[in-house]
Amino acid sequence: MNLYPLKFNPILKERLWGGTKLKDVLDKPIENDITGESWELSAVKGDVSVVANGDLSGASLQDLINKYPEALLGKSVYARFGTEFPILIKFIDAKQDLSIQLHPNDELAKKRHNSFGKTEMWYIMDADKGAELIVGFNKDVTKEEYAKSIEEDTLLDLLNYESVKEGDTFFINTGKMHAIGAGVLLAEIQQTSDITYRVFDFNRRDKNGNLRELHTDLALDAIDYTKKDDFKVTYSDKKDSVNNMVSCPYFNTNILELTKDLELDVEKRDSFTIYMCVGGKATISNEFGSVSIKKGETTLVPAQSKKINIITTSAKLLEVTI
């Protein structure tokens, strides 16, 4: 099968904390004012992406992986993950603060949930004045100190707050306490996992008046209690170049800020390539076809591609591979 660059229908998620930026800034087809997430590329059971362009329109991502595993994923990716797509790609709009949470590592997630862990990264696309993230602790704490803070409702006093602006990038490894703050629109790249341990939700109630479930006990053995400054990503912003942002065992992410066309030789990459457009617009092609994407859209270029051509006069792209 000659697989061209694939674009998928967004999977839109209403959230208690969601807003309207996915519609107003990214032009998503939304009719309410509490949409918090647009899942751009997903093989999570129950939320599998469906192709929106070309002859394969209507096919699910999982169906294509099952039929063309090496051509779509790459031989090494298929050998490592089988037919499980290893990446989940989202845009997230936080009108309100998200709950304070963390994710278990692979070992714990496998043992408890038969799932991958959840390592992730965030690229800030838009931030209101004064917007912040919570990332990690502001000092080393013990498990006992943490448990006491939960009991006494003083957890916020132990957490580290980071002011953010467009272009800021954060790497969130497993076990790290974190929350997206109100007024932040971001692109999220993560392992395929929906395992989240929520530890504090500002005592908010849902539309039915219920408090959301907390995972206090599950979190205790999953938390990294040490203060670390390993989350803010520094990267080159050289234009018309491929600049590395994050390299980890689960994904590699580059940023490309382009003012002209770019041709990439990817014959030896042996991985699919994802492009998230976080600014401008571009047409992306391989030997078998092309797709146009604009800010807020995503495409998957199959691993069988030997060359990728990006046609643009102004685009900012996150490039994700395994």
In tens, the pLDDT along 58-81 reads: 999 999 999 999 999 999 999 999
CA distances from 131 to 10, 95, 266, 296 (A): 26, 10, 38, 20
**Length of the chain counted residue by residue:** 322
Active site residues: 198
CA distances from 178 to 42, 71, 134, 199, 214 (A): 22, 36, 5, 10, 15
| CATH top-level class of 243-321 | mainly beta
What local confidence, expressed as pLDDT, does residue 205 receive? 82
CATH number of 6-220: 2.60.120.10
Q: Would you say residue 100 has pLDDT above 90?
A: yes
| 120 labeled binding residue | yes
Tokens representing residue 194 in the block: 């929906």
**Sequence-distant (≥ 6) Cβ neighbours of residue 263 within 8 angstroms:** 307, 308, 309, 310
Domain ranges of the chain: 6-220, 243-321
| 37 labeled binding residue | no
Mean pLDDT of the chain, nearest integer: 96
- CA dist 318 and 10 (Å) reads 17
| 103 labeled binding residue | yes
Judge residue 153's burial from the number of C-beta atoms within 10 Å of its C-beta, 0-12 exposed, 13-18 middle, 19 or more buried.
Answer: exposed
Indicate if 243-321 has the same CATH topology as 6-220. yes
CA distances from 45 to 42, 85, 193, 265, 319 (A): 9, 11, 10, 33, 25
Q: Would you say residue 182 has pLDDT above 90?
A: yes
**pTM of the entire predicted model:** 0.95
- CA dist 75 and 81 (Å) reads 10
Task: Please give the average per-residue pLDDT across 104-130, as a whole number.
Answer: 93
- CA dist 161 and 169 (Å) reads 14
pLDDT in tens, 250-271: 999 999 999 999 999 999 999 9
